[in-house]
């Protein structure tokens, strides 16, 4: 086991899903309201409920956080998200499982755990002033490639 200072009540990583929706040459992101990465832009997503398939969790979280209806196409990558306290101790470790989703319907509206929801061009993600969660630009490029953009 790694030697990591932790305050976590969770001894193991928490599985969660993120929905990568590519539509009309843009990717859908939300500005997170809660840790980890509160205030940063990332993909809509959240914890997978017991007995819930990954793809269904992605579509559910997408709708809850953005009002966008989607259809899961495929799981394509996973990334780590570490929630640390002010002293750098680990509170929670999430494993975010990315699901490429097709856009079905809707207009992005922040809901649930999001402060904002909107579409971005891939080039927008290179803007130094845009506060992104770790790996968002990379995952967005992977989603665009898989979507045939």
CA-closest candidate to residue 141, choices 93, 76, 71: 76
Report which DSSP code applies to 13.
Answer: P
What are the residues whose beta carbons fall under 8 Å from the beta carbon of 44, sequence distance 6 or more? Answer: 18, 19, 21, 28, 29, 30, 61, 62, 64, 65, 66, 68, 114, 117
Q: Which of 52, 55, 64, 116 is catalytic?
A: 116
55 catalytic per annotation: no
Q: Which residues does the annotation mark as catalytic?
A: 116
């Amino acid at each position: 086991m790694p030697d990591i200072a932790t305050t976590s009540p969770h001894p193991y990583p928490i599985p969660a899903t993120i929905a990568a929706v590519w539509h009309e040459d843009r990717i859908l992101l939300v500005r997170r309201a809660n840790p980890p990465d509160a205030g940063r832009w990332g993909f809509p997503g959240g914890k997978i409920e017991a007995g819930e398939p990954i793809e269904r969790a992605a579509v559910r979280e997408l709708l809850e956080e953005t009002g966008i209806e989607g259809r899961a196409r495929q799981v394509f990558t996973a990334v780590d998200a570490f929630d640390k306290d002010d002293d750098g101790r680990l509170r929670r470790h999430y494993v975010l499982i990315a699901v490429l989703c097709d856009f079905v319907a809707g207009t992005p509206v922040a809901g649930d755990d999001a402060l904002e929801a909107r579409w971005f061009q891939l080039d927008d993600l290179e803007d130094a002033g845009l506060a992104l969660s770790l790996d968002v630009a990379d995952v967005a490029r992977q989603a665009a490639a898989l979507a045939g953009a």
